[in-house]
Amino acid sequence: MAHNVILLGAPGSGKGTQAAKLVEAFGLSHISTGELLRAEMAKESELGERVSDTMQQGRLVDDQTVLELLVANCDLASKQYIFDGFPRNLDQAKMLDDQVVKDFPTTALYLEIDLEKLTKRLINRRSCSSCGEIYNLLSTPPQKTNSCDKCGGDLQQRKDDTESVVKNRMEVFTSTIDPLVKYYDERGILKRVVADDHPDQVFAAVEKLLG
């Protein structure tokens, strides 16, 4: 598959999980602006310190900062990417087109999901602190409480997966997604997939669309 993929979907729609499957099946490189930002915070870099309040409140970091981080971490001439968490608004979509993706072939994949189910899903999300594997206490729980099936690492909850912050993130999402979907639809590169089902079923649909 000679395509970059732009993943669109609400927080908790399963972007991270589907991205991991895409990496495995198609050899794409995964780039998540949320992860890049959290890594900067963990390093306590100047950028990390600057964005930490914004992120902990579930608001958007300024476009230019995120774009710079993205540009510094990808090279489209030699790899194909899954963009996860970028763009978040129309300005970012245009920046991505003009400054990153340019003429490289790209598909925008929209994971559509019932927003009411999402809050529940997010609050129950845990990830492995050492290998990053994602679990859901309701639908895909680990075999042993609080311990990763793959590596035995401790499971942790993201700071912004608490109920009140999740509400904020949902509001940010619903107020920005429509113009983005329209933008990619008009360019003829939008594909929609129903993301309510089990991750494996969702991926089967994704594979059919992209394969």
In the complex, the residues that contact ligand ADP under the rule CB under 6 A are: 11, 32-34, 37, 54-55, 58-61, 66, 85-86, 88, 92, 160, 169
38 is catalytic: no
d(CA 84, CA 70): 11
Binding partner of residue 58 among ligand ADP, Zn ion, none, CB cut-off 5 to 8 Å per kind: ligand ADP
* Contact of residue 150 among Zn ion, ligand ADP, none (CB under 5-8 Å per partner type): Zn ion
Among residues 21, 50, 117, 158, the one annotated as catalytic is: 158
Residues composing the chain: 211
Q: How far apart are CA 9 and CA 113, in angstroms?
A: 8
125 a catalytic residue: yes
Instruction: Name the binder of 33 from Zn ion, ligand ADP, none, CB < 5-8 A by kind.
Output: ligand ADP
Indicate the residue whose CB is closest to ligand ADP: 34
Nearer to Zn ion, 141 or 153 (CB): 153
- Smallest separation, CB 144 to ligand ADP (Å): 25
**Which is catalytic among the residues 38, 88, 121, 126?**
88
How far lies 67's CA from each of 50, 60, 105, 203, in Å?
15, 12, 20, 28
59 is catalytic: no
Annotated catalytic residue within 15, 38, 121, 126? 15
From the list Zn ion, ligand ADP, none, pick the one residue 128 interacts with, judged by a Cβ distance below 5 to 8 Å according to partner type.
Zn ion
Choose between 111 and 190: whose C-beta lies nearer to ligand ADP.
111
Active site residue 158: yes
Q: Pick from 148, 155, 190, 195: which binds Zn ion (CB under 5 A)? A: 148
Q: Are 198 and 206 in contact (CB under 8 A)?
A: no
Pairing of strands 134-136, 125-128: antiparallel
**By three-state DSSP, how is residue 146 classified?**
coil
d(CA 26, CA 100): 21
15 is catalytic: yes
Tokens 């930002």 correspond to what residue? 37
The strand pairing partners of 126, in sequence order, are 135
Which positions are catalytic? 15, 88, 125, 158, 169
Q: Which residues bind Zn ion (CB under 5 A)?
A: 128, 131, 133, 148, 150-151, 153
